Structure 1
Amino acid sequence: METIFTERHALRNSRTELFGGQLVEPFERPSRAEYIIDRVREVALGPVNEPDDFGMAPITAIHDADFIAFLQVAWPDWQAAGFKGEAMPTVWPARRMSHRIPTDVEGRLGYYALSGETAISEGTWEAAYASAQVALTGAERINQGARAVFSLCRPPGHHAAIDMYGGYCFVNNAAVAAQHLLDTGAKRIAILDVDFHHGNGTQDIFDARDDVLFISLHGDPMDAFPHFLGHAEETGTGAGDGYTINYPLPPKTDFATWRAALQKALAQIKDYAPDALIVSLGVDTFETDPISFFKLKSDDFTTYGADIATLNLPTLFVMEGGYDIAEIGVNAVNVLQGFEGAS
C-alpha cells in the first residue's frame, strides 16, 4: 500500500492547548506523524511519496471561501494586533447573539472556531494546506486504479466544518478527497469515520447530500467531545435524509461492542454501493488513549482492518486522531496491514 506523506506537517507545531483549565502541550503534535511514518517504513508497508499540489480549488469546493481566507491570515493578523501568545478564541456568537463577522481578529477567531482548545500558530495554515494535498493525492491514486492508499494527513480534518475549525482540524481532508472523487467521475462515495470523536465537521458538510454516505462510530456526544453533534437520531436533512448514520457508544466500550456497530456500518455501506470508500482513520479508540474512553487493543485494529477489506472497494485511508503517541504507529499500521492481509 502506498503512503502519501509530507514533512510539511511539522510546520504545525503549536505549543499550547487549553485542557482541563490549564495550558498544556498539545496532544496533537508533530511526533504523532513521525511515529506513524516510522512504523510504515519499519514494516515495509509500501512506497512513501510526497503529495502533488492540486491548488486551492478543491478546498474551496468544500469550505466557505471567507473561512479559508481567514485561516490564511489568522496568525499574521493576531501578531499585528500585538498579542504575545498563540491565537486562541475567547468569545463566540452564542445563542441569541449576533452572528455578524467582526473585523477584529479576536472576534473572527471566535466566529470561525467551534471549540477553544485549538491554538493557531506560525505554520498552521501551511501545514493544513499540505495535509489537504496529501488527501487529494491519495484520492487521485484511487482514480488511477489503486486498490488502497494511506494518506498520512496531519493536521487531521474531520472536525473542520464548512466554515469552522476546531478539534485540531482546519481543512476537512476526507471531505475534500470525497469531493475530488465526485468531481472526477464517481457517483457515490462512502465515508466511514472510526475515530473515537464524532466527525462533526464531515457531517456538517454532507448533511443535505445523498452522493456521500457518512457513517461514524464514536463516543456518545453526551459524554465526549465534540458534544453537540453525533446523536443517533441525526440522519441528514433534505436530500441527505438517511445518508448520515451515527453510532454513539458509551464509556468503556469494548471491541466486541464496537465491532458489532462496525458490522452494521459495513452492511449499510455495501447496500449503498459506493464507487469508493474513504476511512477517516482515528486510532484514539485505543484503551490507553489519554483523551478517549474506548477499550480497543492493538490486535483489534488488525482485525477491523480486515473487516473493512471485505467490502472489496477502492479504499482511501485518511489519518485523523490518536493520542497515545508511543502506540499510534503500531495501531494505525495494524489497520492497514489487516486490510492488506485480507485483500
Structure 2
Amino acid sequence: MQDYTVMLFLRQRWNDPRFVYQDYNDSITLYEKVLDKIWVPDIYFVNEKGAPFESTSGHSTLLRIHPNGDVLYSAKKTILLACPMNFQLFPMDNQVCKIKMESYGHTTKDIEIWWSREDAVLISEEIQMPDYDLVTWKINNNCDSHHTTGTYSCIEAKLFLIRHIGYYLIQHYIPSILIVVLSWLSFWISPEIAPARVALGITTVLTSTTLTAVSRSAMPRFSYVRAIDVWMMTCGLFIFFALVEFAVVHFIFKRDKKFAISRKAREMSKRLPRKKKAIDKKDVASEDEVDFKPDKGMSSPEPDQDMVGAEEKTHRTPAEIKALYMRRARRIDYYSRLIFPLLFTVFNILYWSVYLSMYH
C-alpha cells in the first residue's frame, strides 16, 4: 500500500431552507469564526492515511449563503491518501489511485452525496509529477458503503497514472546493456591471457550485481518479481555465463599439458626393468631372480583411455596435441561471439514486445 499527497479545494453545495431570506438580494459570505454554529455535511476521506496538513495562510474555509437557501462550502485541504499499487510491470506500470469520500455519521436516509456534473473534478494543467503522467480521471457516484450501522452515501474519483520510463532507461537499462556487451569482449581476448579475462569477467559480474541492488533499494520489499528484475537477472546470467565460458575455454586450452604428463609417465614405466637377477647368490639362496611387479594397491600410472583420447591412439606429437586443443578453445570463443549476441537480441525482442504491449 503506497501513499500520495494531494492538495485540493473541496466544494460542497446543498440547500438549507432555514437560510432563506428576502431582504437582501446578494449572497452572504461567512468565515471560520462562525462556521462552528452552522451545520455542514460530515464528509471525510475514506482512504485518508495521514492527518490533514495545516494551512500556511491561516484561512482555508469559507461558507457562502444565497437568498434561496443554497449553501456553498469550500475548504482547502492537503491530505495524505493511500493508493494500492502493483509493481509487477515496473517501470512500465500503470496505477489507479482513488479519492473516496463519504458521510461519516449520516446514512443514505439523511444525506445523499453525488457529483454536481460530469466535469466536477478539475485538475490544473500546471501539475507535473516526476514519476508519473496523469492520463485521465473518472468520477463515480455509485460506491455506497454498507456497514453494520447502515448504508452511507459515497462518491469517488479515479486517477489514472502512467509512469515515466525515460529515467529508468538512462539509469538502469542502457548501463546494463553496456555491461553485458562489455562482458563479451573477453571472447576476443586470447585464452593465454587469463588474468585479463578473469578481471574483466569478475568486474562485470560485480557491476551487474551492484546495479541490481540499486534498482531494488529505492522500492519497498515485494514478494513478486518485477519487470526490471527479469531484465537485471537475465543480464546477470549473460554476464555469468560469459565468465563460465572462459573457464571452459581455459580448461580446454591447457588440457594438452595434462596429456603430456600422462605420456611421460607411460614412457618412464616402459623403461623400468621387469626382472632383476640376483647379484649375490648367498644373499638370495632360495631365489634366482626378483620380480618387480606392481602391487594391486600401488598400480603404475597407466594413462586412462578416456583421458588419452584419439590423439594418443594416433601417436600425435605433443606439439600437434597442443595445437589441436588451442584450435578447439578458439573455436568455442568464435561461436560464443555469435551465440551470445544472438540470444541477447532475441531476449530483447521478447522482453520489449511483451512489456511495452502492456505499457499504455
> In which range does the TM-score fall when normalised by the shorter chain?
under 0.3
TM-score, length basis structure 1: 0.20
Per chain length, whose mean CA-contact separation is higher, i.e. which structure has more relative contact order (CA < 8 Å, sep 6+)?
1
Q: Between Structure 1 and Structure 2, whose CA radius of gyration is higher? A: 2
